[in-house]
Amino acid sequence: MSKNSKNSVKEPVEERTPAPQPKALNQTAIDPKYIGRLAGTLLGICLVTALLLGAVNQVTKPRIDAALKAKTEALIAVEHTYQPLKDAAQKWLDTMEDGEANQAATKAYVALLEESLMTVDQCLAFAGSPAGKEVFGDKQPEMQAHAQSLKDAGEKYCDCDACKLAKAILDKKEYLNKKSVWIFGGDGWAYDIGYGGLDHVLASGEDVNIFVFDTEGYSNTGETFTAGVVLPKISSLRFIVSSFSPGFPGR
């Protein structure tokens, strides 16, 4: 039968099922309680890390403070220490326990320490000058030779008592100003599980600041409320029940 025949039989067209389209992602909202727990856990990790770093700082800084104080007193006692530097050093000693006044005193002290610390080249130049002759007298050649030996040895600074102390203090200059120490924690930590440690810190007499967050609950342990919660403020019955019932979801 020819292609063009009127009586030709048409082949049935196969019906194809459309390819399945990808379904939209489930847009189910995340339960806020899980967000709260995650936030509480992350906050807890951050607080523990901060407390550990703070504890290390509180152990080491008093020792550094004592060493800086002793070196500053020794610097003042050196006869040939620059008088304005002596005055700045004494001002720093007088304000060590005054956080506000110590900031300006520290800034002035550091500036004069840096100004007064002589390099070997400056020492050589001074030793060979008329001013050096006036200071050292007959020992001028000896001082020139000593300064040259320091330069030959690759030393950078003068090794007199005043310069050695100034260099040692400048090496720890970030500890000169009085630090503001803060402890952060939630009310569960402050009123409950961490109260023993907090009470110990308060009784120690250390100069620290304490900031307690009004979280009203242990966010990372199932929304149980803390001793810092005022009951009428609790807006969720589930929040109350979960605090007393171990088997309740979210406990």
Structure tokens at 246: 């171990």
pLDDT tens, residue by residue, 142-176: 999 999 999 999 999 999 999 999 999 999 999 89
What CA–CA distance (Å, rounded) separates 112 from 149?
A: 27
C-beta separation of 68 from 169 below 8 A: yes
CA angle 71, 73, 78 (to 5 degrees): 90
Buried b / exposed e across 96-122, counting CB within 10 Å, b at 16+?
beeeeebeebbebbbebbeebbbebee
Which range has the worst mean pLDDT, 58-67, 131-140, 192-201, 208-217?
58-67
| pLDDT for 248 | 40
Rounded alpha-carbon distances, angstroms, from residue 94 to 17, 82, 87, 98, 112: 90, 19, 11, 8, 17
| pLDDT for 240 | 44
249 falls in which pLDDT band (50, 70, 90)?
very low
| pLDDT for 229 | 62
